[in-house]
Amino acid sequence: MPQTNLIGKTILGYTVTERLGSGAFGTVYKAIKSNASGQYVRALKHITIPTEKQYNSVLNSMGGDVSKANSYFMQMLNSIVSEIRILNDLSEKGVQHIVRYYENDILTSESPRRYDIFILMEYLTPLEDYIDSKNFLVRDVIKLGEDILYGLKSCHDNGIIHRDIKDENIFVSDSDEYKIGDFGVSKVLKDSSKAESLKGTPNFLAPEVYLGKEGYTKSVDLYSLGIVLYRLLNYGRNPFLPRFPEQYFAQDEDEAFEKRMRGEVPDLPALGGEEIGRVIVKAISNNFERFQTADDFINALEAAIDNTPSEIFNERIKITTPSHVSKDKQIEKQYGATIGEESPQSNPEEYTEDNNNVSLNKHLFDSIGEVPSTDIPESDSDVKPEQTEKKDGIEDAGFTTINKKVVDIVPPNIDDPSELAALDRKVINKFVFFIPVVIILIGIITYFIVIPNLYGKVVSFIDWLFTDPKNIMDTLRNPDAVLPQVNTIIGMRIFWWIWLVGLITSLFFVGRQLQTKPESNAINAILTKKEPYLMMQDVSDALKQLKAQRKSSQLDSLIYSVKKLEERLSVESDFGYGKNVVINCENNIAKQIQFLLDTVPYIENGNFEDNLKAINAAVMNINSLLRRRTELKKR
């Protein structure tokens, strides 16, 4: 199939309307079908094996052996077909909490051989996007765990180990049901109850899988789900990492990973309470100490829920992400993971065969893979969710939210934003507007005062520029003229031409200055554009939710103050523009807003009155800083 941009095309009876994301092997689209019974929305994945670049690279790595290259890609096709069969079997059996499969089609072209695979699946929301769209609570994490456990139970009952349970492979339906996606590394267990191959994502892998010491059972899926739940209840941090918000480094990550591989017992996650925390820690214990079946996990979780105070379930989940991974790329990666992609593990540079299987270099395709499209940019599918970046002394990992930093109950100190600025660009810009005024004044004084005093008469401006000097001499010839000489008149003409050119040039620079956009300084800014206003909306919404639960005149006063501040931010000029002195002031505002975001949801934790005072102080700080910002931008 030669076309690569499928938008507007009809495939499998559905019209492609939107590109959702892409991965190393293909692109996921939104597809819609309408008929008398209603409208149906599906996700359509288009997988191409191989792209031209992939084919050439693999062919070169195999010494130009076309048959071996074709065999390589045939094995890749068989792997995807196997995944389709898994989804088809589970869908036909009506298995819940699994991404539903509907239909597929495979087209083959030759010279070189190419397979275009179209898979029609359930249209779902990636977990990360879902978390960002709502106030995610501990009770939501528990429901996620239960739903995925029931999905895993169905997989295991059908002889399937998923082997790559992680947050990126969990999706949410419109009815808030959590579902498992991406069976690209699943292993169908036939006569044996154990699998021997290493697949999956290291940050979620059970030790026996990663170390490859022995065969493993379906309990490895329960271990991976335990890691997902632990991270959700631990501010996105893996077991054994320093407690949030304490800063940590790459060495801490390495040590935490080694402890996990040694089977050491981690502390309970920060949220969720003691009973639920113990269940999750048991799920990520050594092979023979963890839950062996999904039923065991479910029963233990339900018992823990019964013994957990109700207020625990209303704790808000806070998860952060590396700032260098954009949201669009995260969503693209998750949609791409729904089917047909595998996680790179080893560094397989060889193509090896034996009597039982063929070892394929899937990692090679992750390194050279491209989306089969000329007008759709390739997504950066190599970015791992576990990668982290340190900013402001706090390590982020997991998902993207607008929250960037957690602070204590005391509002952050305000840094002094003052900065000496001598003759900076703003002074020069004002000077540009002043120059044409000076030039015009010089012209007026010369024309109406100086020339009449020198020549006794006023000559029109056009005559000074274009009339023959001798004619001007005749006009000015009178006994009172002081300088009637021709040379003087020529000099005056030169003066007027210089004056006119100077005026036009100065007006040109005035026009340019009026069209000049503010200079972006986003690289130093915590927040840009209208982000402060959007964040303050979140604060206002959180306070409204609190008001529904608690009546307080002080709370009403605070809600009014925050609402006025929100209105003020809505009309403020965009953040992230101007000199460093302005950006410093804006960054102070960002820290105060972040304090509000992190404090308001937990205002009832501890002393309510003290927390209210701290929040009011932060609101006052923001108003003061906004006045300061206005003054700085005028300079």
∠ at Cα 624 (618, 628), nearest 5°?
Answer: 135
Q: What is the DSSP letter of 448?
A: I
Spatial CB neighbours of 619, under 8 Å, sequence gap ≥ 6: 558, 561, 562, 565, 596
Q: Considering just the CA atoms, what is the radius of gyration of the chain in Å?
A: 35
Residue pair 559/544 in contact (Cβ under 8 Å)? The answer is: yes
489-515 as b/e: b if 16+ CB within 10 A: beebbeebeebeebbeebeeebeeeee
C-alpha–C-alpha distance, residues 570 and 452, integer Å: 58
For the residues of 315-338, what is the DSSP string, one character each?
A: PBP--B--TTS-HHHHHHHHHHTT
* pLDDT number for residue 395: 36
Q: Determine how β-strand 26-35 pairs with β-strand 38-49.
A: antiparallel
Residue pair 6/29 in contact (Cβ under 8 Å)? The answer is: yes
C-alpha–C-alpha distance, residues 453 and 248, integer Å: 82
Name the burial class of residue 37, with classes exposed (0-12), middle (13-18) and buried (19+) by CB atoms within 10 angstroms of its CB: exposed
Q: Three-state SS for 407?
A: coil
Q: Which two tokens stand for residue 569?
A: 């931010």
Note the pLDDT tens digit of each residue in 142-190. Answer: 999 999 999 999 999 988 888 889 998 999 998 899 999 877 645 444 3
Count of C-beta atoms within a 10 Å radius of residue 212: 11
- Whole-angstrom distance between the N-terminal and C-terminal Cα of the chain? 61
* pLDDT number for residue 370: 32
Q: Which two tokens stand for residue 274?
A: 């003691």
* pLDDT number for residue 41: 94
* pLDDT number for residue 518: 56
* pLDDT number for residue 560: 82
Spatial CB neighbours of 105, under 8 Å, sequence gap ≥ 6: 11, 12, 117, 118
In degrees and rounded to multiples of 5, residue 177 shows phi and psi of: -95, 135
List the binding residues. 45
153-188 as b/e: b if 16+ CB within 10 A: bbbbeeebbbbbbbbbbbbbbeeebbbbbbbbbbbe
Q: What is the DSSP letter of 398?
A: B
C-alpha–C-alpha distance, residues 577 and 426, integer Å: 13
In degrees and rounded to multiples of 5, residue 359 shows phi and psi of: -90, 120
Q: Three-state SS for 86?
A: helix
Residue pair 490/551 in contact (Cβ under 8 Å)? The answer is: no
Q: Which two tokens stand for residue 521?
A: 């300084």
List the binding residues for ATP. 45
* pLDDT number for residue 517: 54
Residue type, 451: I
Q: Three-state SS for 31?
A: strand
* pLDDT number for residue 4: 66
| pLDDT < 50: residue spans in the chain | 1-3, 185, 187-198, 321-408, 417-424
* pLDDT number for residue 24: 56
Overall pTM > 0.85: no
* pLDDT number for residue 92: 83
